[in-house]
Structure 1
Amino acid sequence: MASVTSLTASVHQRLASALSAALPGTADADPLLRRSDRADYQANGILALAKKAKANPRELAAQVVERVESGDVIKEIEVSGPGFLNVTVTDRAILENLAARATDPAERLGVPHADDAGTTVIDYAQPNVAKEMHVGHLRSAVIGDAMVQILEFTGETVVRRHHIGDWGTQFGMLIQYVDEHPETLDHELGTDEVSGEQAMSNLNRLYKASRQLFDSDEEFKTRARRRVVDLQAGDPATLAVWQRFVDESKIYFYSVFDKLDMKIDDPDIVGESGYNDMLEETCRLLEESGVAVRSEGALCVFFDDVKGPDGNPVPLIVRKSDGGYGYAATDLSAIRDRVFNLKATSLLYVVDARQALHFRMVFETARRAGWLGDDVTAHQLAFGTVLGKDGKPFKTREGETVRLIDLLDEAIERATAVVREKDTQQRLSETEIVERGTQVGIGAVKYADLSTSANRDYKFDLDQMVSLNGDTSVYLQYAYARIQSILRKAGETRPVPHPELELADAERALGLHADQFAETVAESAKEYAPHKLAAYLYQLASLYTTFYDKCPVLKAETPAQVENRLFLGDVTARTLHQGMALLGIRTPERL
């Protein structure tokens, strides 16, 4: 099905044509159209265009009004203030546009595929081998997964990359500890298959024991560092133990991602070790091209605008003076792989805002080397910190970082209690309550994250997250379930649009907002801004609540009005369902 031209686009096109006619020779006359409380839309661009053309803005606005093609879409247009235009569209246009969206067989609701779709590699959800995932891993996973869904929906080819920490000093430390305490490997990991959570809990104990020895025993530290060299050299025995750590950790990662309702495939996981074979060549290419230079034995890239507290330049260290490779060498090798092998046109890194300087230097180095050209963009979708209710970084009472699995379990437990409490007529079985509780709990955690602009910190408040009131996923999920309940109660009466009907104010507001879905998805994709989609969906649910309160559906005055209001509800529900799916959130049919 062809995409549906939104009412905003239709009105914009008519005003732009009238402006061009009123100002001959003016190219791309933008009326700056916005939704308005005074009318359906307000055009604010005439003042600037009049100033540029040395014309009177009110007179120019009046000329535009005379030239605007009205009738099928525009019902009224009037000049306001110093030269604004207030535009009201016809009820027929609202319903016909929604009807066109509703007939989309692919359930895309008329959302077009982007004309400039390319290939985006998204680097997100970067846990570390042999370490439990904590609250700090939440945002990268949730935001990254939402961007995968949104970009794929707009027609982009998306390659997922989970850049897990599976290399470096800590593995020399771990492997050496196991080598000297062989009983610990089978004791902690077990010979039988254990759950992902148990495997990681055991691995975590191993990590803490080896770290304690590493920090307190200089001789062990020396042996551990030698073991890193063995690992990098590909010593078979060392690699075998390392592989076991990686395999056990993956079982755990998958269990956490499964609880987060995220799809993770094995080929998507390409850790630091995946770029080992490229590191030497990356360094050689940078040095030969003059992008990197040797400084005090290390291979570095310098930047005029990056200086430390002492005013001296802070370099990006690609290879250390002892010959070891830094994170920069791995990240630059990953860029080479993603651009030249995966043919990416966009690189998106969903990484903590505290890594901003590192990635600015890495991207600039890649540009100087010619690996990022005009045809490839690289962007860090930087995110803020998860805070506790007290506004401080989220910690346990003991001051330790909160385990992600514990946080998700508590969210599910709280949400299940809410679902059970709301089921006053006991229509749901215990199995259904648990299933809905899981969907509501995980949805609550995701939505709280995604409804906040990524670069801002946000407070993790489970009481608020699972509330039925306010800007929460539970509010949206209940709005969806309420519509489904009404559609079921309607029985044989089906949703049917009636463009000939006059709409009430609450119907108009709901219809106009539902029609903006495609534009919101496109904007969220272009700006890497899932919070804009979340805000749109909350507004949609709020407008439906107003509509529900003011416009009786099943008890409307005429059969046509019943069908029309069922239709408005149906389009709203389908938009909520699709929009929430793009955020990675389920919408249960009954709650």
Structure 2
Amino acid sequence: MQDWFDLAKKMDSLVLEAAATAGLEDTFTADIRTADPRFGDLQANGALPYAKRNKANPRQIGQSIVDLLEKNEDLTSKVEITLSGPGFINFKFKADFLQDWLKTFSGSEQLKKAAAHLQENETVVVDYSSPNTAKQMHIGHLRSLIIGESICKLLAFCGAKVIRDNHIGDWGTAYGRLFYAYKRFLDEENLEANPLGELERLYKLGSKLATEDEEVVKESREELVKLQSEDPEAMALWEQVNGHSIDGIKRVYELFDISFDHYLGESFYRNMVEQVYKELEESGLGEESEGAWVVFHPEHKRYATQPFMYRKSDGASNYATTDLATMLYRAEHFKASSIIIETDFRQKDHFEQLELTTQKWFEKTGRTFPKFSHVFHGTIMGENGKAMASRTGEPVLLKDLIAESIERAEKIVREKNDEKIAKGQAALAEEEIVAAAKVIGTSSIRYAELSQNRTSDYVFAWDKLLSFEGNTAPYLLYAATRIKSIFRNFEAADLENLADKASNIETDEELALARKILGFVGVLQQTVETLRPHLLCTYLFELAGAYSSFYNANKVIVPEADIQSRRLMLCQRTLDVLETGLGLLGIPTLERM
């Protein structure tokens, strides 16, 4: 049985074969994609662009291909073929084909096998989150963390070997003032309880004192010089401070159940920059400009006059140098076939120049340049339309945001639990309430982030993200628990081999739900190609809607065993896709809520 991706390839091949038979030039492309459900399951859109290039009638071109496809009895036994609009060829799978597909693709593992070839043999390094050490993580760090982690899960599910690398900011001038304050004003108890908070307090204190006393500036500079010259005592203190920072960062990550394979920060590459200087100069790419060393890109409208500076006029390295060394290390050490870096949109120019420079550098030195993607995101806005901040005007700390979301979720869960008790329904135990609040609280933040097109700004609104209506985590979590509640009416043995006992899918709602389930792998393909998780979120919301329509129109528990089996099978497959899809967004489902 073919999965969605194989079906799309098959249709692509058949359309191209028919186009060749119809005498169309070899410039014709099938352009297979997911169809509007009103017209079918897959659609070939190649007739229109071909007709435009050749000044022909797209409808006639499309019809000539359809006429040939309809002569293929093996194809038409499974698929209805229609033409719509300016030559769009629609393929609608017949009910018995859908039935066979649902029988074959059951459970997360089968779905994973269907998706695994989308990124097969790929080694992808994903660089995301990347906070600065000695500073508390705030809401400005949320988008990179959540988007990056979801991309990792999606790529791994689709067959890639994924390497999560947290390129932390753990080197630089800030350490001079931090060390000055650390040696004199450290609160060890606070460091143990809240490492990031204590280190940030010390840095701010050191900075404040430096504005008031020139002696502090001098001593801070001396601390920095010792670190940059890798003085043993300074390095020991740096490792201690860095260790406390990473411990604090990990505590925040644990709230979202996120972990990294590597924490290779800026400091890791500090001794690799000489190779970058040497090779850029020897290859002729680097040139001196006003005392600094830069790479110009004359083919680019802006970068022809705004070069990529990789060595400052005082001889020091900068972010560009470190990032070039990072690209080299990932290509050579990790053997990356693809590198993805997730940051906010303000760094777009930097990474465009990094890509251009690295590509030319690798070509000059005979290296293979990995596929490179800078995945960037917009800003989280408060309901007042401004960047979200706390009452004091500071950015909202991430740990406080998560705590508040869990607290709000618990209040909602308790209210709904009281309603159940009032109606005489089975209520949740205390431990179930606490567990549900944690899942709903963290998942609501996560889903609110991922359901937005990542390049857009969005408004963070508590009432919306915690709502049980609309495209939200609580709505999808509740949809999953509704299905699980049906299964509690049966013994495990009753739910085995449902597909073998099921009669053929029949009603409009059953067919619509089956078609939506079949489209899961196609949506994964679109999502990993564009690295936009909101496409998966939209699909899951639509799947939950299709299930709701099916459930409202078709009674599941009925006397007829074959009908009950097929409807239970549809429930089971819907739950498989919901749980798998939510899992790729980092959201676990609940048994009850």
Pair 1:494-2:478 in alignment: no
- Residue 72 and residue 277 in structure 1: after superposition, are their counterparts in 2 closer, same or farther (change >3 A)? same
Distance 2:19 2:72 in 1: 9
After superposition, residues 86-105 of structure 1 pair within 5 angstroms as 87-102=91-106
Question: Which residue, out of 384, 388, 393, partners 2:387?
Answer: 393
Following TM superposition, by how much is the alpha carbon of 1:315 offset from its aligned partner in structure 2, in angstroms? 3.1
Residue in structure 2 matched with residue 227 of structure 1 by the alignment: 223
Residue in structure 1 matched with residue 275 of structure 2 by the alignment: 281
Q: Secondary structure at the match of 2:488?
A: helix
Specify the code of the residue in structure 1 equivalent to 2:543: L
Of 225-234 and 563-572, more deviation after overlay is shown by 225-234
- Residue 73 and residue 161 in structure 1: after superposition, are their counterparts in 2 closer, same or farther (change >3 A)? farther
Residue in structure 1 matched with residue 188 of structure 2 by the alignment: 189
Q: Deviations over 1:415-463 (max 9, x none)?
A: 2222222232453221121111111111111111111111111111121
- Residue 126 and residue 288 in structure 1: after superposition, are their counterparts in 2 closer, same or farther (change >3 A)? same
Specify the code of the residue in structure 2 equivalent to 1:271: G
Specify the code of the residue in structure 1 equivalent to 2:406: I
- Residue 102 and residue 217 in structure 1: after superposition, are their counterparts in 2 closer, same or farther (change >3 A)? same
Contact 1:349 1:380 in 2 (8 A): yes
Residue in structure 2 matched with residue 583 of structure 1 by the alignment: 585
Specify the code of the residue in structure 2 equivalent to 1:450: L
Distance 2:33 2:136 in 1: 49
Segments of structure 2 that go 5 or more residues without pairing to the other structure are: none
Residue in structure 1 matched with residue 210 of structure 2 by the alignment: 214
- Residue 84 and residue 337 in structure 1: after superposition, are their counterparts in 2 closer, same or farther (change >3 A)? closer
Pair 1:563-2:565 in alignment: yes
- Residue 522 and residue 87 in structure 1: after superposition, are their counterparts in 2 closer, same or farther (change >3 A)? closer
Q: Secondary structure at the match of 1:339?
A: helix
Distance 2:114 2:142 in 1: 32
Distance 2:63 2:2 in 1: 39
- Residue 86 and residue 368 in structure 1: after superposition, are their counterparts in 2 closer, same or farther (change >3 A)? closer
Pair 1:417-2:411 in alignment: yes
After superposition, residues 285-300 of structure 1 pair within 5 angstroms as 285-300=279-294
What stretches of structure 1 move > 6 A for 4+ residues in a row?
305-308
Contact 2:124 2:163 in 1 (8 A): yes
Following TM superposition, by how much is the alpha carbon of 1:262 offset from its aligned partner in structure 2, in angstroms? 1.0
- Residue 25 and residue 287 in structure 1: after superposition, are their counterparts in 2 closer, same or farther (change >3 A)? closer
Q: Deviations over 1:297-354 (max 9, x none)?
A: 322223447788xx99333322222232211111111111111111111111001110
Residue in structure 2 matched with residue 528 of structure 1 by the alignment: 531
Distance 2:591 2:521 in 1: 24
Distance 1:379 1:575 in 2: 28
Pair 1:344-2:336 in alignment: yes
Distance 2:537 2:7 in 1: 21
Distance 1:65 1:318 in 2: 57
Residue in structure 2 matched with residue 572 of structure 1 by the alignment: 574
Residue in structure 1 matched with residue 396 of structure 2 by the alignment: 402
Distance 1:40 1:2 in 2: 18
Residue in structure 1 matched with residue 345 of structure 2 by the alignment: 353
After superposition, residues 149-298 of structure 1 pair within 5 angstroms as 149-179=153-183, 181=184, 184-185=185-186, 188-190=187-189, 194-195=192-193, 198-265=194-261, 268-298=262-292
Give TM-score scaled by structure 2 length: 0.90
Following TM superposition, by how much is the alpha carbon of 1:16 offset from its aligned partner in structure 2, in angstroms? 4.9
Distance 2:2 2:46 in 1: 30
Pair 1:316-2:315 in alignment: no
Specify the code of the residue in structure 2 equivalent to 1:228: L
Q: Deviations over 1:176-198 (max 9, x none)?
A: 2334x2xx22xx2339x823xx2
Contact 1:6 1:97 in 2 (8 A): no
Distance 1:367 1:111 in 2: 30
Distance 1:33 1:241 in 2: 56
Q: How many residues align?
A: 578
Q: Secondary structure at the match of 1:190?
A: helix
Q: Secondary structure at the match of 1:421?
A: helix
Contact 2:273 2:322 in 1 (8 A): yes
Pair 1:327-2:299 in alignment: no
Contact 1:50 1:60 in 2 (8 A): no
Residue in structure 2 matched with residue 30 of structure 1 by the alignment: 30
Pair 1:538-2:536 in alignment: no
- Residue 15 and residue 390 in structure 1: after superposition, are their counterparts in 2 closer, same or farther (change >3 A)? same
Contact 2:320 2:354 in 1 (8 A): yes
Residue in structure 2 matched with residue 473 of structure 1 by the alignment: 473
Contact 1:91 1:499 in 2 (8 A): no
Distance 2:289 2:75 in 1: 72
- Residue 53 and residue 316 in structure 1: after superposition, are their counterparts in 2 closer, same or farther (change >3 A)? closer
Give TM-score scaled by structure 1 length: 0.90
Specify the code of the residue in structure 2 equivalent to 1:478: Y
Following TM superposition, by how much is the alpha carbon of 1:270 offset from its aligned partner in structure 2, in angstroms? 1.1
Distance 1:404 1:103 in 2: 35
Pair 1:145-2:149 in alignment: yes
After superposition, residues 403-482 of structure 1 pair within 5 angstroms as 403-423=397-417, 424=420, 425=425, 427-482=427-482
Specify the code of the residue in structure 2 equivalent to 1:571: R
Distance 1:18 1:148 in 2: 39
Question: Which residue, out of 357, 365, 370, partners 1:365?
Answer: 357
Of 72-81 and 504-513, more deviation after overlay is shown by 72-81
Contact 1:367 1:373 in 2 (8 A): no
Q: Secondary structure at the match of 1:382?
A: strand
- Residue 59 and residue 465 in structure 1: after superposition, are their counterparts in 2 closer, same or farther (change >3 A)? closer
Distance 2:304 2:47 in 1: 50
Q: Secondary structure at the match of 2:313?
A: coil
Segments of structure 1 that go 5 or more residues without pairing to the other structure are: none
Distance 1:482 1:372 in 2: 57
Contact 2:107 2:576 in 1 (8 A): no
Contact 2:128 2:144 in 1 (8 A): yes
Q: Secondary structure at the match of 2:116?
A: coil
Q: Deviations over 1:359-412 (max 9, x none)?
A: 112222212221796641221101111111122111122221111111111111
Q: Deviations over 1:100-124 (max 9, x none)?
A: 1017755626333236532111111
Distance 1:360 1:39 in 2: 40
Specify the code of the residue in structure 2 equivalent to 1:477: L
Following TM superposition, by how much is the alpha carbon of 1:34 offset from its aligned partner in structure 2, in angstroms? 4.3
Residue in structure 1 matched with residue 135 of structure 2 by the alignment: 131
Distance 1:104 1:384 in 2: 32
Question: CA RMSD, aligned part only?
Answer: 2.9
Distance 2:171 2:66 in 1: 69
Following TM superposition, by how much is the alpha carbon of 1:580 offset from its aligned partner in structure 2, in angstroms? 1.0
Following TM superposition, by how much is the alpha carbon of 1:287 offset from its aligned partner in structure 2, in angstroms? 2.2
Contact 1:484 1:589 in 2 (8 A): yes
After superposition, residues 24-63 of structure 1 pair within 5 angstroms as 29-30=29-30, 32=32, 34-41=34-41, 43-47=44-48, 52=54, 54=56, 56-57=60-61, 60=64, 63=67
